[in-house]
Structure 1
Amino acid sequence: MSGPGGPSAFALPPTRREAVLRQIRDEIVTGVLPAGTVLKDAEVAARLGVSITPVREAIAQLAAEGLIDIAPNRTRRVTEVTQKNALELIDVMSVLACAGFEWGVPNLTASHLERMRERLEEFVDNLRAGNITAATAAGADFSTIVILASGNRELQTHVDLVVARTLRLLAGSAGADIWELWVSGYRETLELLEAGRPADAVGRYRQIYVDYRARVETMLFHPPTRS
């Protein structure tokens, strides 16, 4: 949710630090780097073909985002996700995103709704193609368009602090039924906005988080049944 969701006139190439940050974050979110993986500067730098400095900077940022734990002995590991942590994260994200959504709805224009429709279509198309990274980014942008419409940049800053961790949880826990929960929720929310029913749209958007929390609570972190 770092951008407004609309196309840019042009895109500057990322700095080396930003490129490394995006790559490592993507590997964590998608599970390429599983929870508990130890990250060593030199090894990551060699694998990505960069110097150690941007790797250290990227790891420091990811630690601030909660994706990497730094132990007292400076060992860096991909953060473990417990059920308690997962549910707390969903609760925090729900409060922030739903507040921003409610505040932004009165300011939505036809252009906003058009961009939300585009993001929703990208979300669905990428899910069908199996591109989870692109799908989660499009899904995040769907909400960001509304949150930015609130004009509250401070809120957006706080949303950005937890969004990568939330996307990691979603990507790691989601089966077809979970994705459908978000697809149908977004679709019905947008239809209510297009029908001029903003209060109902906010309520439907809030329900997505309620339903998602309930599903995560029942499907994650349970040990296998012993025979």
Structure 2
Amino acid sequence: MPVPKGRGLVSRSLLRENAYRAIRDAIVDGTLAPGERLNDGDLSEWLGVSRTPVREALARLDQNGLVQTKPGRYTIVSPLDVRAVRDAQSVTAALHELAVREAMPNLSEVELDAMREANARFAVALRRTDVDAALAADDDFHDVAVTACANVALRTVLEQFTPLLRRLERLRFSSLSGRGSVAQHDRIIALCEAGDTEGAVSATRANWQTLLPLLDATPSDEPLADPGSALPPNS
């Protein structure tokens, strides 16, 4: 039997995806700081992979705005750009509204319970000032509708732009508790349970728009500094 021509492609794809997610997460959580130079060799050693998946991951991160590359010169972690984050917020908010609208016919008690459980974890994490757990629970809450709507294109775009918002939440808003989000999430759940599509979409919009006043307070041409870890804003 001939050896299949596609042999090895899956493992390479997984290596590339794992490298991308590891570097992306390190940028989002501040392990790799804005302006920091990224060396292929150092990243390869850290991740335990060859330079090829690292370079492919960096090319993807460049497209997503998380790194900046000058071929043959350097690759750095992108400085936080208010204009880029504003654009990402606009797209992300609209897609989460669409996710809720398309998910409504598919929401059963199972999905509603998953939303309640995620929001409960979110509230506990906020009380404990556990940033990682709060962000994970917030992601899990919103992901219920994203999964239920079964729109692959929507998820793909969200995966591109959400890291820009999560990075901002960590690096800029250290004074924001985010506790208002718990009540906003509860309202979204109640409206979904009641079958009120327009109400749930409106509540989702309000939830994501709480980031706007914070963006408005910062000039678009002013880079955002790194004051350390922060609790998430009302998203």
Is the 1:178–1:212 Cα contact (8 Å) retained in structure 2?
Answer: no
Give a deviation string over 1:89-147, Cα, whole Å, max 9, x none.
21111122212222212321111101111121222333334442332232122122112
Question: What is the count of residue pairs matched by the alignment?
Answer: 211
Q: State the SS of the aligned residue for 2:176.
A: helix
Partner of 1:165: 164
Q: Tell me if the contact between 1:37 and 1:78 (Cα under 8 Å) persists in the aligned partners.
A: yes
1:207: Cα distance to partner?
0.7
Q: Residues 104 and 30 of structure 1: is their aligned pair in 2 closer, same or farther, counting only changes over 3 Å? A: same
Matches within 5 A, 1:1-227: 15-175=14-174, 177=176, 179-218=178-217, 221=222
Quick one: which amino acid aligns to residue 198 of structure 2?
A: A
Using a 3 Å threshold, how does the CA distance of structure 1 residues 30 and 175 change in structure 2: closer, same or farther? same
The TM-score, its normalising length taken from structure 1, stands at 0.79
2: CA distance between counterparts of 1:223 and 1:216? 10
- Per-residue deviation, 1:75: 1.6
Deviations 1:33-81 (A, max 9, x none): 1111110111222334443233223222322322111124452111122
**Structure 1 gap segments, 5+ residues each:** 1-13
RMSD: 2.7
Q: Secondary structure at the match of 1:39?
A: coil
Structure of higher CA gyration radius: 2
Gaps spanning 5+ residues in structure 2: where? 1-12, 226-235
More deviation, 18-27/29-38: 18-27
Distance 1:63 1:98 in 2: 27
Q: Report the Cα offset of residue 166 of structure 1.
A: 2.0
Is the CA contact (8 Å cut-off) linking 1:30 and 1:132 kept in structure 2? no
> Is the 1:63–1:69 Cα contact (8 Å) retained in structure 2?
yes
CA contact (8 A) 2:67 2:77 kept: yes
Partners of 2:67 and 2:78 within 8 A in 1 = yes
- SS for the counterpart of 2:217 is helix
Q: Is 150-159 or 195-204 further displaced after alignment?
A: 195-204
TM-score (norm 2): 0.77
Q: Summarize the Cα distance change of 1:154–1:22 in structure 2 as closer, same or farther, 3 Å threshold.
A: closer
